[in-house]
Amino acid sequence: MTLVKIKTIALLGLMLGISYLSYAQTYIGKGLKVSLFSSTPIEDIRASSNAANAVMLLPKQELNIQIPIKSFEFEKKLMQEHFNENYMESDKYPIAKFKGSIEPLIDWTKDGDYTVSAKGILSVHGVDVARTIAGKINIKNGVISISSNFDVTCAVHHIEIPKLVFTKIAEIIKVSFQGTLSPLKK
């Protein structure tokens, strides 16, 4: 075998190995749970969705999450209708998303619980806002569980609440998020 052939085979092997490692370090989660809670003296409003999806690229500690707005279900169908049509304008802004990076650096090969922050852009109702969101990561046997509780201020995302129902809907919505991510399989 010539030296050129040996170098070519070695280079192809290295490229294939690097490609496999980056592929193996991509984790995905489907059907993650997101809950919304609004509390006022007049009424509490709850909604939940099991339709959030997440992708995490371990080498960069990059996290991307998307939630279809119409996937939120309410106790009362009328609330769900008003949420989609009047407040969130779901036909115009169908997805809420977050894209950012996890801090501090984590050794993804070690099982354990980690308190983290995700720094990035939260996009709700078509408005992008730079956010740092606190969360927890648990790693166990190659599976990553993520969770977070944070607030979303309606006015910041240009979500208008009519004065007629101002006493029924809080200006700040409490959001909780949780789910499991597994290695992307070929």
pLDDT digits (tens, 9 = 90+) for 40-54: 777 788 999 999 999
Q: Is the residue at 13 inside a domain?
A: no
Q: Is the residue at 21 inside a domain?
A: no
Q: Is the residue at 155 inside a domain?
A: yes
State the pTM of this model. 0.82
Intervals of the chain under pLDDT 70: 1-24, 162-169, 186
Say how far apart CA 160 and CA 37 lie, in whole Å.
17
Task: For the beta carbon of residue 1, count every other beta carbon within 10 angstroms.
Answer: 6
CATH code for the domain of 112 = 2.40.128.110
User: What is the domain extent for residue 122?
Assistant: 26-183
Q: Is the residue at 71 inside a domain?
A: yes
Q: Is the residue at 8 inside a domain?
A: no
Q: Is the residue at 101 inside a domain?
A: yes
- For residues 26-58, one letter each, b for 16 or more C-beta atoms within 10 angstroms of the residue's C-beta and e for the rest, the string is bbebeebebbbebeeeeeebebbbebbbbbbeb
Q: Is the residue at 15 inside a domain?
A: no
Total structural domains within the chain:
1
| Residue matched to tokens 């606190």 | 134
Q: Is the residue at 9 inside a domain?
A: no
The pLDDT assigned to 176 comes to 97
The pLDDT assigned to 168 comes to 58
> Nearest 5 degrees, angle CA 26-CA 12-CA 59?
25
